[in-house]
Amino acid sequence: MYPESLANLIECFKMLPGVGNKTAERYALLILEKNSEEIYRFIDALKDSKEKIKHCKICGNYSEDDKCLICKDKTRNTKQICVVQSSKDIIAMEKTLEYKGVYHVLGGVISQNKGILPEDLNIKQLLERIKEGVEEVIIATNPTLEGETTALYLDKLLENEEVLVTRLAHGIPMGGHLDYADELTLIKALEGRKKM
């Protein structure tokens, strides 16, 4: 029905989450209507994001340098670390404009079903950071079975450390994800966090 190159473009758009056949077709057909300058800008942005973006050596967030913008920010409270599953959770938290500490990206959660064990996560680096005078670790994994398992594991791991371990309050519904929560829900979850 479509020329091969257009069919390939549609298939590429279908790789994106939440994009089905109809949406992929609309995106591909829209691309054909754009001028060359817009298309090459889009191509360059895709290429640059893949080639230039890496993980911050301190927290694991996305960055173009060795340190992300948050770790470079001297106004942030480095004695408070918010532990998240992925960089997209940092984006959600930052939208609240309430949290002034730093972050630590685990790179996932413990999941026996997927074969993800604690040693597969960025936990060793977290333990090293805590030794640098951290006073509070806020565990902000998603309130799912895997997120709760990871939170309990971290709480147990940190129980002998001189650090307060808190968990985001459940203003976020069970089974929900940080990156889908609105700013007000995240603000309330931050305000209502409790010791584990």
CATH number at residue 114: 3.40.1360.10
Parent domain of 77: 68-195
pLDDT tens-place string over residues 108-165: 999 989 999 999 999 999 999 999 999 999 999 988 889 989 999 999 999 999 999 9
pLDDT band at 64 (very low <50, low <70, confident <90, very high): very high
Which distant-in-sequence residues (6+ apart) come within 8 Å of 41 by Cβ? none
Instruction: Note the pLDDT of residue 195.
Output: 78
Domains in the chain: how many in total?
2
Q: pTM of this prediction?
A: 0.80
pLDDT tens-place string over residues 9-46: 999 999 999 999 999 999 999 999 999 999 999 999 99
CB neighbours of residue 128 within 10 Å: 10
Chain-centre distance for alpha carbon 1: 39
Please check whether residue 58 lies inside any domain of the structure.
no
Please check whether residue 169 lies inside any domain of the structure.
yes
Which distant-in-sequence residues (6+ apart) come within 8 Å of 107 by Cβ? 60, 85, 86, 120, 121, 122
Cα 186 to Cα 99, 179, 191, 195, distances in angstroms = 10, 10, 9, 17
My answer on whether 135 and 72 are in the same domain is: yes
My answer on whether 81 and 113 are in the same domain is: yes
Cα 113 to Cα 110, 117, 157, 181, distances in angstroms = 9, 10, 22, 25
My answer on whether 30 and 119 are in the same domain is: no
Please check whether residue 63 lies inside any domain of the structure.
no
CB neighbours of residue 181 within 10 Å: 23
Q: Environment class of residue 21 by beta-carbon count within 10 Å: exposed (0-12), middle (13-18) or buried (19+)?
A: exposed
CATH number at residue 46: 1.10.8.420
Encode 135-165: b = buried (16+ Cβ within 10 Å), e = exposed.
ebbbbbbbbbebbbbbbebbbeebeeeebeb
My answer on whether 114 and 37 are in the same domain is: no
